[in-house]
């Protein structure tokens, strides 16, 4: 059985979260958390929190053992961008885009 956790509109740009997601895709939950613990970026802490949430969902809702869980699917999708404008010289304005993303983590018990 697959269990998921979703974080929507995270405020983290998808392009900066994808390298972290590639590091933990297909790993056991314990191994993924160890990798993220020693990754020196604030985005790793956010991603680790989401993986812990998926493991907690599996443990509490479906009585799965957290040590047996594996990340089956993890994906980062682009969400809406917050658009603002900054005043520039000669009465012009230039856009500022603050990108955000949706992160989905699906865990399941590994076979064997």
Domain borders along the chain are 2-109
- 95 has pLDDT over 70: yes
- Determine the Cα–Cα distance for residues 53 and 105; give it in Å rounded to an integer: 9
- 94 has pLDDT over 70: yes
Average confidence score pLDDT of the chain: 95
Confidence band (pLDDT; 50, 70, 90) for 111? confident
Beta strands in the chain (DSSP E): 2-7, 69-78, 82-87, 93-98, 101-109
* Check whether domain 2-109 has CATH 3.30.70.60, yes or no: no
pLDDT in tens, 13-61: 999 999 999 999 999 999 999 999 999 999 999 999 999 999 999 999 9
């Amino acid at each position: 059985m697959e269990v998921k956790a979703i974080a929507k509109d995270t405020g983290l740009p998808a392009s900066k979260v994808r390298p972290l997601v590639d590091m933990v895709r297909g790993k056991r939950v314990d191994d993924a958390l160890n990798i993220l613990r020693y990754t020196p970026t604030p985005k790793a802490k956010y991603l680790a929190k989401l993986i812990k949430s998926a493991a907690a969902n599996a443990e509490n809702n479906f009585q799965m053992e957290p040590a047996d869980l594996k990340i089956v699917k993890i994906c980062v999708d682009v969400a809406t961008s917050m658009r603002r404008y900054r005043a520039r010289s000669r009465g012009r304005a230039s856009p500022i885009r603050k990108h955000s993303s949706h992160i989905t983590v699906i865990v399941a018990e590994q076979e064997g």
